Structure 1
């Protein structure tokens, strides 16, 4: 029978003061070690030299191979044997240098963790193009992990010192390339989802059916749907490039319906081997001969991963895209009025994988929940679930709390010790706090509901403003594509106010959310109400019932209030609504 053994109070913990050993050597010599020691950083082949050979033959280590342009990161408990293996591998023969990294307190769990950290950070650092695949990445805990995490920060600075990497960890972690990197450790939820998806993918390859049962992954904001999508894309693309794999030659694409996210992801994966920018496509690309459209009517894409699928469109309020939408439907032999982009996916892809969250549908043009259910059937009704919160430090409890507040369920007042949630009495206080947070957390952004006209839309002078509150003037986002990222390069953009279309799908350090004049509190009815006259997103309300617009606007605020990683600060334009929300949030002057 298994039983628990408690660690002794004097159990060995790593000593942070112990130095790392980083040994650099030509790869041509490292691969041919027979008996050697490391002396002054050089490999000396001499079986009579003793003292340091343990780090070569019998000690946990991580290593980096490089040739000045490309790099490969690995871990081993026998460096000599591992270099011999690499020396016989055609893919590794192009490397010219081996960098061995070891420490007296290393163990197997630590080197696996450090390998993953190095791959994830070096891929986004950009000094080298990494050649690693991303299979086998599982999140796990181990003894004294927090201390080893601190030690890794010291190691990274040492690697910067020897010019093996360039940027600081903080710089990398604030970059879009890092946030959208497929080199990530998966949590248990994501791992289970990945295994279910891979099983379904492999089963589908054994059938001769033109279309396979769709796969649906459902998760709230911040549960890692996009991370899973990119991880899956990288893994499947690597397998499709392997002549010995059953997925060899399969055509695999990622559909990103939100144009701003699509542009950001394209740029992020541009440095990832095995993924091309043109592997990231929009829904309209599905109906092109180079992608999903074929002359014989059969699907042109084998596996299609659809991220943010709740933002796929139907034929309603499409504005300038109306004509294009009808043309695409005609090419597929479908009537625009009864066709959605879900139908496009099902027509052009043999095996579609939808990542979905009904709580993030924010426009009348978005495909309705019941249509997903009708088209996808049992797969939609019984999806693969992602539950673990990865973005908001307030966790799922915070997301549920926000949802209950917006739906007026009068939730029990909650506190979030690890998360800043507060309501500002004045806009001056709100704005001052925003400026302070932006100083040290550069992904802090101010966002709002569409309660003001976009007068500055065509203003290139940067002089016009749109939002005027208590003598303070603000301007709407000058762009929708990559507005969050552009704010890291230009503080002008960082000080603008983003609308829903500029921030959906993005992570923010701190979200400063303005409840605009379109959402109010009716004291007589004792209810939150929507003033459609003061809601200025024309495509967000044209042809919709008041009930639908009400639901869309509440969803918009749900999305805005779930962007912040570290915290959410709130200002409410309507005084009555401000007083109502003060029941549920700490109020600051």
Structure 2
């Protein structure tokens, strides 16, 4: 909004106590039962609660009787003559997500329904401007510190549990709870390609299971909400304090999710672990994100020694076991989020391991299809897959106004363009696939560890590879 434009949002801040309820009467929108958004917060604990209502005085009076919310000390009313119920629900959900990623305050909300999953009049125009204006006001009064642009490009925002789930994600979530309560099911395979929201679903599930059932709002589930509430209640009765862990094989991604968990009320960075940490205890439920990156004893480098030590502790043969076996041994229920097409390293567990799991009576499979990572959706993903696998027919054409195709004569020009886009928009990357022969110096598929205590014979595959070129983030 430029300085010449008329403000579209009123932001009023006051102390959160019984006397301050009178301040609601002075707000022309709140006093007239107009839809508003409000934020309760406490500076000392750095916690906040975001809500929306058409009866602000009654809602705030109820919060003053709540054992958690009455400890919050400040209230902010966000109102506008342009608000409607759909807009306030959407802005409420957006503020929860942005506050969680901003990091100054930790939302204590348990309403995981996320933004409403339908369009409404001027959603992408007017109400995006109103959200931006609201956020700038919150930064001005000290409730937020970072810009929306910087948050949009952050990993913490990307992996927030306060997201709208797609229809198949919601169906999968209900299926997961059903399987967790079924004594006949020990293993779940949640399969989905890149961008289908496997990580978001895993984090959503963690937050759901660590929230009070009475506080959970699941507006997006509509008719399925009652079914899900019954399943959650049954799960909490069976596992009042579930021993759970989210296993993330890749250390860099593990660090990212630990940061995200550390900023979400009810979750902890300690809940995100590496495969080797499974030896600490036996878990009721273990979720594995990026399960296709679980390793076997090949090309492990400095990790050979640790791999052997864990196998020994779990009484497994290091030459035949994989980290998949570790998960199965150390959990009553295991949930693998898996995409075979993303398994690219010789150290990754063989696809045959997951194929065997699929055939077992104690395993249940579910598939995620919705595409979140690209604007053109599943059709674009299928086009790229067909192109790379040379399975595209001569008559097949992909067209989208949201994409542009450029052909470069010089690699330097390509790199410069990607770096320029990254500087301007963020999240722009250049990657390279296998390009030339990459042959191991030793004809061994299971190399000895540094201590030379074990030696597994085999034949090393001849591979092709390349060095990825990734522009640095400015």
Deviation at 1:425, TM superposition (A): 1.6
Structure-2 residue corresponding to 1:222: 195
Unpaired runs of at least 5, structure 2: 216-232, 448-457
Q: TM-score, normalized by length of structure 1?
A: 0.67
Structure-2 residue corresponding to 1:301: 283
- The CA distance in 1 between the partners of 2:244 and 2:147, in whole Å, is 34
- Asked if 2 retains the 8 angstrom alpha-carbon contact of 1:373 and 1:381, the reply is no
- The CA distance in 1 between the partners of 2:115 and 2:90, in whole Å, is 9
Deviation at 1:140, TM superposition (A): 1.3
- The CA distance in 2 between the partners of 1:386 and 1:187, in whole Å, is 9
Structure-2 residue corresponding to 1:98: 75
- The CA distance in 2 between the partners of 1:336 and 1:240, in whole Å, is 43
CA deviations on 1:317-367 (whole Å, 9 max, x unpaired) are 323222322221222222222222111111111111110000000111211
Query: Against the structure 1 CA distance between its residues 81 and 406, is the aligned structure 2 distance closer, same or farther, given a 3 Å change threshold?
Result: same
Structure-2 residue corresponding to 1:345: 327
Structure-1 residue corresponding to 2:366: 384
- The CA distance in 1 between the partners of 2:440 and 2:19, in whole Å, is 70
Structure-2 residue corresponding to 1:22: 11
- Asked if 2 retains the 8 angstrom alpha-carbon contact of 1:121 and 1:169, the reply is yes
1:15-414 map, 5 Å: 19-29=8-18, 33=22, 37-38=25-26, 52=28, 55-56=30-31, 58-68=33-43, 69-137=46-114, 139-144=116-121, 145-146=123-124, 147-201=126-180, 203-204=181-182, 207=183, 212-238=185-211, 245-246=236-237, 247-288=239-280, 292=281, 300-377=282-359, 383-411=365-393, 412-414=396-398
Of residues 439-448 and 256-265 in structure 1, the stretch that sits farther from structure 2 once superposed is 439-448
Query: Against the structure 1 CA distance between its residues 162 and 232, is the aligned structure 2 distance closer, same or farther, given a 3 Å change threshold?
Result: same
CA deviations on 1:281-305 (whole Å, 9 max, x unpaired) are 01111122xxx3xxxxxxx101111
Pairs aligned (count)? 431
- The CA distance in 1 between the partners of 2:430 and 2:284, in whole Å, is 41
Runs of 4+ in 1 over 4 A off after TM superposition: 30-33, 239-242, 378-382, 538-542
Structure with higher Rg: it is: 1
Deviation at 1:443, TM superposition (A): 2.7
- The CA distance in 1 between the partners of 2:38 and 2:323, in whole Å, is 46
| SS of residue matched to 2:89 | helix
Unpaired runs of at least 5, structure 1: 1-15, 40-51, 293-299, 451-515, 519-530, 565-589
Larger relative contact order, structure 1 or 2 (CA cutoff 8 Å, min sep 6): 2
- The CA distance in 1 between the partners of 2:378 and 2:114, in whole Å, is 24
- Asked if 2 retains the 8 angstrom alpha-carbon contact of 1:315 and 1:340, the reply is yes
- The CA distance in 2 between the partners of 1:283 and 1:167, in whole Å, is 34
- Asked if 2 retains the 8 angstrom alpha-carbon contact of 1:302 and 1:350, the reply is yes
